[in-house]
Amino acid sequence: MSDFSRYIDAHLERFHDELNEFLSIPSISTDAERAGDLRRCADWLAAHLRSAGVPEVEVIPTAGHPIVLGERLVDPNAPTLLVYGHYDVQPSEPEDMWTTPPFEPAVRDGRLYARGSADDKGQVHMHVKALETRLASNADTPLNLKFIIEGEEEVGSAHLGAFVKEHAGRLACDAVVISDSSMFSPDLPCITTGLRGIVYTEINVRGPAHDLHSGSYGGAVVNPANALAAILAGLRDEHGRATIPGYYDPVREITEAEREDLARLPMDDEAFCADVGASELGGEEGFSTLERLWYRPTLDVNGLLSGFTGVGSKTVLPGTAMAKVSMRIVPDQDPLEVVEAFEARVRELTPPGVTVEIERFHDGAPWVADPGHPVFEAARAALTAGFGTAPAMIREGGSIPIVPMFEETLDAPVLLVGFALPGCNAHAPDEWLHLDVYRRGIAALAALYGEIGDRIESRGG
Amino acid sequence: MSDFSRYIDAHLERFHDELNEFLSIPSISTDAERAGDLRRCADWLAAHLRSAGVPEVEVIPTAGHPIVLGERLVDPNAPTLLVYGHYDVQPSEPEDMWTTPPFEPAVRDGRLYARGSADDKGQVHMHVKALETRLASNADTPLNLKFIIEGEEEVGSAHLGAFVKEHAGRLACDAVVISDSSMFSPDLPCITTGLRGIVYTEINVRGPAHDLHSGSYGGAVVNPANALAAILAGLRDEHGRATIPGYYDPVREITEAEREDLARLPMDDEAFCADVGASELGGEEGFSTLERLWYRPTLDVNGLLSGFTGVGSKTVLPGTAMAKVSMRIVPDQDPLEVVEAFEARVRELTPPGVTVEIERFHDGAPWVADPGHPVFEAARAALTAGFGTAPAMIREGGSIPIVPMFEETLDAPVLLVGFALPGCNAHAPDEWLHLDVYRRGIAALAALYGEIGDRIESRGG
């Protein structure tokens, strides 16, 4: 047993008590009435960073909720690691669906149930305790540590980008580590090396100036809901592929090495399907489930609205029909090129007799790590030390816009090492954190700080 | 000038005053708080039927609003005509869109503006005044007249069918006349000889057990909204035709005579298109606008709902997607056969990975008159006398379930002779009645009673 594990086990009860305190503060960022709780949560975290060994900690106001900034600068020639996380949480509704109250942490079957336990207060706390553990163990590799823990991740990190730009000098670092992602299973630590990007649009089809009687006008006036269905269906072919010209051209082929990595993962399609409650899985032909989720782009309808949607029947020929349509994109697709080709295809599919307007909402580029960078060797070594198993390289089908933001603004690689688990109910009732993963993850992170200190060259030195 | 017209012109000011009184009563049947107004309106009508010369008038309670029943039986050997209409009206919201208040009748440019002026109190009043006019003019053909004027037409005539069944003996007649339809233009009286039927359904496509994150699951789980779009698009081909096997087999070919009738109508596609506010008209290829509206079946999406429909974006892969879909059907399509073939086609179009449920709402058979029946000769002669022009035979794209109900329950032909006009805002603000049509229509109806007395054999005699 390593020194780290010995220290963690000796102090685990206190770690749990502290985490419970942290999780008891209802830091729901979307709720304006909780602003005081957010502030209280930031102050709690600042105090605990200080007592863990971060001498300089500030709670910095933003136009939204405050950002906690910590600095432990030990050696100008040592490399610098920036830890990002967030202390705000999702709303807890519907509260009556929780087995125990969302802000009264409770342990059942080795899991800690509370809002924020997995996303992301539990994982932030693991970093705080990793630093305490490392310092208590007299580990000697010098590393400068910086912490930036925000309070608005669940509401879109509205003020983070500007803050990082404004404080880019102070946040300068050689790598960024973010623990806000998942492992594949409790015994398999993971490094997330790729994220899909996104292009999100709204299509509005307009026909007659207002709703008409479907008897008096049906058959003579082009129905925007019929037209919308034809457009949406025309955007996909019978093989589950988008019909946008050129859409797949920039998509990187999956390499043999990547296919071998995927094959090693304990993926169980049947369990996955049962977990989502679908009758069977589907999608683009010719690819496995994980390939479709991580390596292939999508085209999904996210919302539909037209005409009469109440109970029963109303004989209306709708004046308009709306669809939200988004595409998850992958390297090397470009969001702007994708949205322009998409719009051209939608116009091509629009029948005479209706007009179409397309609104562009947010977009984000796909992201893929450079797995040859030494930060990944460091993470592999640390996770192997903490969990007794070499980590798997995985990807995530979703988009995390702050990842490319950090990489671009600070010109430093981002390492995604997360400790949530599949089915942890991150945005749902009964969110939970696996307590043995919490314990082993702290050890892994304490090791990570050392491995990065050993393996990374300081650019500032 | 006929005797009828002379009498009408001599008393027109009083007729207008009475109609204004009738229209001033806010008989909105859907509004439970208006029950007293409905009763007051029924009593007003009963009194005016009596003073017009109907000796037996009753206001009969139902579980909803009362039915006004009048009988003027003059000769057991004479034919009997049953006049149907309704004294209830649509709601007046949005009231601030009315140029003058909905229940304060106002004349502008030869039109009488008020809720119910066209639909249907104005047309009911024309029958009352037609009887008064006929009796005052000492017209001598004997005819038994019965009136059934209900107060629930705008809420689906919930109690009418049972009432007609229960009182079928008392309502026995040789023909039914309904004035609740439209003319093609102010100078062209019309007889409506066909109605489309309807089959109305709701399709629910279900995929995952609940909404999923479109990043974490998109591409691997079949999206019910994508699937619904494919189903709906698959139900129609690129020529605007339904793809339901056998759908068009029972549809009657349009005859040469019908095409000639249609060609004579002053139909202006451009004006029609401008009126509905569409960029251009469309529909089934190979048919004119009126053919598509009156003689051809449709398949229209009446409503769509799935996933996120608010402002902005939400990255949801919806658990369900819903569409309301209805078909307007024509002779000799059968509602039950149509809905069964529709359901089979929807199931055939449903991709693996989702399930589909189809709910059937109301349906109604199409209706077509037998234009060889003498009641149509009578109507042609009467409308020619009233308007100085032979009437056009038109159809209506909508469904009027009470028409087949009367025909079946009373075994008598139904004559649809209406005096509303296109654009009369029947269910919208600023509803109006053309006052010169009101005047001429009263003369035509007075003539109609005589023509029917002359031409129809009494079955009861």
The token pair at A342 is 């998409």
With a cut of 90, say whether residue A459 has pLDDT above it: no
CB contact A288 to B (< 8 Å):
no
Question: What is the radius of gyration, based on Cα positions, of chain B?
Answer: 25
- CB distance B215–A196 less than 8 Å? yes
CB contact B99 to A (< 8 Å):
no
Cα–Cα distance list, B385 to A313, B110, B175, B414, B437 (Å): 42, 22, 20, 21, 13
With a cut of 60, say whether residue B288 has pLDDT above it: yes
CATH superfamily of B3-195+367-455: Zn peptidases (3.40.630.10)
More confident of the two residues A261 and B332? B332
Sign of CA dihedral A316, A320, A324, A329: positive
- Integer Cα distance of A20 and B390 in angstroms: 88
User: Taking residues A391-415, what's their average pLDDT?
Assistant: 94
- Interval A334-360: pLDDT, tens: 999 999 999 999 999 999 999 999 999
Asked about A88 being catalytic, the answer comes back as yes
The DSSP output letter for B456 is P
Are A111 and A122 in contact, with CB atoms under 8 Å apart?
no
The residues in A 65-84 lying below 8 A from B, measured between CB atoms, are: none
> Which residues, other chains included, contact A182 with Cβ-Cβ below 8 Å and sequence gap of 6+?
A190, A192, A396, A418, A419, A420, A421, A422, A424
Mean predicted lDDT score pLDDT of chain A: 95
Mean predicted lDDT score pLDDT of chain B: 95
- Integer Cα distance of A402 and A404 in angstroms: 6
The token pair at A58 is 């500030």
With a cut of 80, say whether residue A1 has pLDDT above it: no
- Interval B307-326: pLDDT, tens: 999 998 888 999 999 999 99
Helix or strand run (H / E) with residue A149: strand A144-150
With a cut of 70, say whether residue B1 has pLDDT above it: no
- Specify the pLDDT at position B106: 98
- Specify the pLDDT at position A244: 98
Chain B CB contacts of A202 under 8 Å are 313
- Interval B340-370: pLDDT, tens: 999 999 999 999 999 999 999 978 899 999 9
Chain A CB contacts of B301 under 8 Å are 223, 225-226, 229, 306-307, 318, 321
More confident of the two residues B22 and B314? B22
- Specify the pLDDT at position B138: 86
- Integer Cα distance of A226 and A208 in angstroms: 13
Q: Name the 3-class secondary structure at B65.
A: coil
- CB distance A233–B229 less than 8 Å? yes
- Specify the pLDDT at position B93: 86
The CATH T-level fold of domain B197-251+297-364 is Alpha-Beta Plaits (3.30.70)
Asked about B88 being catalytic, the answer comes back as yes
* Distance of residue B227 Cα from the nearest chain A Cα, in angstroms: 8
With a cut of 70, say whether residue B461 has pLDDT above it: no
Calculate ∠ Cα B54-B59-B62, nearest 5°: 145
The token pair at A414 is 């981002």
- Specify the pLDDT at position A438: 98
**From the candidates A237, A300, A330, A421, which should be mutated to test the interface with B, based on the most B CB atoms within 10 A?**
A300
More confident of the two residues B332 and B156? B332
> Where does the pLDDT of residue A363 fall: very low under 50, low under 70, confident under 90, or very high at 90 and above?
confident
- Interval B23-46: pLDDT, tens: 999 999 999 899 999 999 999 999
Helix or strand run (H / E) with residue A378: helix A374-387
- Domain map (residue ranges) of chain A: 3-195+367-455, 197-251+297-364
- Specify the pLDDT at position A288: 96
Number of C-beta neighbours around residue B21 at 10 A: 13
Percentage of chain A with pLDDT > 70?
99
